[in-house]
Chain A
Amino acid sequence: MGIAEFFQHLMNGLTLGGIYALIALGYTMVYGILKFINFAHGDVLMAGAFIGLFVFDWLRGSAPLGAWTIIAFFLAMVVSMAVSALLGMFIERVAYKPLRTATRLAPLLSAIGVSFILSNGAAWAFGTRSRKFNYPFDNTPITIAQVVITPHQILILAVSLVMMIALKLFVDRTRMGKAMRATSLDQPTAMLMGVNVNKVISMTFAIGSALAAVGGILIALDFKVYASMGTMTGLKAFVAAVVGGIGNISGAMFGGILLGVLETFGVAIFGIPTGLKDTIAFGVLILILLIRPEGLLGKVEKEKV
């Protein structure tokens, strides 16, 4: 295999990984604060993709590709982020908040219920056929030093990079971000220090869901939009969050990109049949749980009585 081919696969892996990272952030932020796996996260992604698709098609009308379609695409993305954030907050308020003091199993079961309602509700409302998300721009590949890059890949890399930097700045620099970190570290103490924990949790769901919506739209450009699209993508993003160290924001970004690259290389270089592509993430999960269950960037936590 030549250098050019290697970089080609790396590029493909990085773009896929960027999307996984965006979605993994939602899992990891919720896990960091509430210590539970939000199974409905993958379905929020699906909802985000549908909203993005509808808004984009409506805004675009029959306009030809050009400046307006690109503006419409980003407008659709913003609308989808906002609506998905509301959806995430709504789900938390209705299905998880009453269970905050219940047994550990209760919110998990509730989350599976929500996930099932969303994916089947979408199948009922929008049908089971998959829809094409039209490209907002001309997607003719560009060749740079023998590596073929599509404008779409550049879009994914740029958007996911901007989102991740924005999130990192938000969590590290703002007051709300500080409150989030405090809640994640020690909820009762954060409450005593005057942090409004309810608001922090709502905010966490809003941000996670907005990022999932972006991930959904970006992945829809390549893989179409359908009601059950969130299941497998969500699962892989969760694996990415575990690989990086669940609860760790930088870990989720790192894990997502690593998983995307591994998946692309697994098919292209190690010759894993495409039909079994989805098993790669699963193998990675089992492996990481055996070798380093706290994740690559995670810290070992001692459990106290």
Chain B
Amino acid sequence: MFNFFLLILIYTGIYALMALGQNVITGYGGMLSLTQAGFFAIGSYATAILATRLGWSFWATLPVAAILSAFFGLLIGLPTLRLKGDYLAIATLGFGEIVRNVLNNWDSLTNGPMGIQKIPMITVFGFVVNPYTKYAFLAMLFIAVFIAYLLFQRLARSRMGRALTAVREDEIAAQSMGINITKYKVYAFILGASVAGVAGSFQAAFTLSVSPGTYTFMVSVMVLCMVVLGGMGNFKASILGAFIIQLISYLPQLTGLTAIIPPQFKQILFGLILVIMMIWRPQGLLGRERIKYSKGGTR
């Protein structure tokens, strides 16, 4: 039981990374991206392929995962984000399906539906982080989440954070203040994408095997739910949301009611969370974080 709780915490960590990225895109930028799963998959496969085929260490694959995700983010972001309207949502929705499609069909690289097994474990200064014993992995993961959180918190207080807030509130007003709206939207989008890529690397290093079935649309909806439930535009809330959603998704196993609760239960609940939160509490559980600026400018 306790072991199971550790598992939930590890998935909270992995999903919290994705949720932080989604929060930059959706919470700060006000853009709807539906493909954290796609970037998650790209990150996982980057780590899996480089580590098994070329013998790279995990730490060398991590930046590749981030950059590769950012590159694909740029590829979708550039044509869709310079337009008004919600084309990003539909393009990202398609992108997620395409990624899975390619992973399933490109046998020579991804080994098709079978996936890639025997991914080497992470080593830190010669110490092997064994995912089966969980503690070391959990500690490492939470250091990563903490670093990401600090970086994003800084970002929100920077010029970019303020520019994104302005763009979200009123594009035309932001534009007339001299903000290049496309530039900042694309930045935010590729930033969010690259964090999801990093989360994918950790996922690959945790499960030690990857297969296309893991990276479904449900993952993207879960991440979106985390951000909406916690509160858009609040990084702490994204992490809290990640924990609550993970808890919900393992509720049948935790309570031992797997026989009674249908497998679709959690998905239906995620859908309900989105609708109900939008109608009754659009600001989420914690609400948007107000940033106070001291007199001497930004802190």
Q: Which residues of A contact B (CB under 8 A)?
A: 35-37, 39, 94-95, 98-99, 102-110, 112-118, 120-121, 123-124, 231-232, 235, 238-239, 242, 246, 273, 275-276, 278-279, 281-282, 285-286, 289-290, 293, 303, 305
In the assembled complex, which residues on chain B have CB atoms less than 8 Å from the CB atom of A281?
94
Question: Knowing A239-B90, A275-B104, A286-B79 touch, does A106 contact B278 (C-beta < 8 A)?
Answer: yes
In the assembled complex, which residues on chain B have CB atoms less than 8 Å from the CB atom of A118?
271
**CB-based contact B275/A95 at 8 Å:** yes
What separation, in Å, do the CA atoms of A81 and B185 have in the docked complex?
A: 41
Question: Knowing A109-B32, A117-B268 touch, does A285 contact B91 (C-beta < 8 A)?
Answer: yes
Instruction: Select which of B84, B87, B91, B274 is within 8 A of A112 by beta carbon.
Output: B274
What separation, in Å, do the CA atoms of A115 and B217 have in the docked complex?
A: 12
| Selected A-B contacts with CB under 8 Å, 25 pairs | A37-B90, A102-B282, A103-B282, A105-B32, A106-B282, A107-B278, A109-B32, A110-B274, A110-B275, A110-B278, A112-B274, A113-B273, A114-B275, A116-B268, A116-B271, A118-B271, A124-B268, A275-B104, A276-B101, A276-B102, A278-B98, A278-B101, A282-B91, A282-B94, A286-B76
The secondary structure that dominates the A interface is helix
Q: Is B93 an interface residue (CB 8 A)?
A: yes
User: How many residues in B have their beta carbons less than 8 Å from beta carbons of A?
Assistant: 46
Question: Knowing A99-B278, A112-B224 touch, does A120 contact B271 (C-beta < 8 A)?
Answer: yes
In the assembled complex, which residues on chain A have CB atoms less than 8 Å from the CB atom of B270?
113, 116
In the assembled complex, which residues on chain B have CB atoms less than 8 Å from the CB atom of A114?
271, 275
**CB-based contact B275/A275 at 8 Å:** no
Question: Knowing A37-B86, A104-B30 touch, does A117 contact B275 (C-beta < 8 A)?
Answer: yes
Q: A109-B32, A278-B98 are in contact. List 15 more A-B contacts (CB 8 A).
A: A103-B282, A106-B282, A107-B278, A112-B224, A113-B270, A113-B272, A113-B274, A116-B274, A124-B264, A235-B90, A235-B97, A281-B94, A285-B91, A285-B94, A290-B79
In the assembled complex, which residues on chain B have CB atoms less than 8 Å from the CB atom of A293?
83, 87
Q: Which residues of B contact A (CB under 8 A)?
A: 26, 30, 32, 34, 76, 79-80, 83-87, 89-91, 93-95, 97-98, 101-102, 104-105, 172, 217, 221, 224, 228, 232, 262-265, 267-268, 270-275, 277-279, 282
Name, among B79, B84, B217, B274, the residue most crowded by chain A CB atoms within 10 Å (CB to CB): B274
Q: Report the nearest A residue to B87, measured CB to CB.
A: A289
Instruction: Select which of A98, A113, A303 is within 8 A of B84 by beta carbon.
Output: A303
What separation, in Å, do the CA atoms of A94 and B267 have in the docked complex?
A: 19
* Distance (whole angstroms) from the CB of B232 to the closest CB of chain A: 8
**CB-based contact B268/A120 at 8 Å:** yes
Instruction: Select which of A121, A273, A289 is within 8 A of B268 by beta carbon.
Output: A121
What separation, in Å, do the CA atoms of A16 and B75 have in the docked complex?
A: 29
In the assembled complex, which residues on chain A have CB atoms less than 8 Å from the CB atom of B279?
95, 98-99, 110
**CB-based contact B34/A112 at 8 Å:** yes
What separation, in Å, do the CA atoms of A114 and B271 have in the docked complex?
A: 6
In the assembled complex, which residues on chain B have CB atoms less than 8 Å from the CB atom of A104?
30, 86
What separation, in Å, do the CA atoms of A53 and B57 have in the docked complex?
A: 54
Cross-chain pair count, CB within 8 angstroms: 127
Q: Report the nearest A residue to B176, measured CB to CB.
A: A305
* Distance (whole angstroms) from the CB of A99 to the closest CB of chain B: 6
**CB-based contact B264/A120 at 8 Å:** yes
What separation, in Å, do the CA atoms of A97 and B101 have in the docked complex?
A: 36
**CB-based contact A285/B274 at 8 Å:** no
Q: Report the nearest B residue to A294, measured CB to CB.
A: B83
In the assembled complex, which residues on chain A have CB atoms less than 8 Å from the CB atom of B84?
303
* Distance (whole angstroms) from the CB of B182 to the closest CB of chain A: 13
In the assembled complex, which residues on chain A have CB atoms less than 8 Å from the CB atom of B34?
112
What separation, in Å, do the CA atoms of A121 and B271 have in the docked complex?
A: 10
* Distance (whole angstroms) from the CB of B264 to the closest CB of chain A: 4
**CB-based contact B278/A109 at 8 Å:** yes
**CB-based contact A285/B90 at 8 Å:** yes
Question: Knowing A103-B282, A112-B221, A279-B101 touch, does A242 contact B32 (C-beta < 8 A)?
Answer: no
What separation, in Å, do the CA atoms of A293 and B79 have in the docked complex?
A: 9
* Distance (whole angstroms) from the CB of A46 to the closest CB of chain B: 14
What separation, in Å, do the CA atoms of A285 and B88 have in the docked complex?
A: 11
What separation, in Å, do the CA atoms of A120 and B262 have in the docked complex?
A: 10
Question: Knowing A231-B217, A279-B98 touch, does A289 contact B264 (C-beta < 8 A)?
Answer: no
**CB-based contact A113/B275 at 8 Å:** yes
**CB-based contact A232/B87 at 8 Å:** no
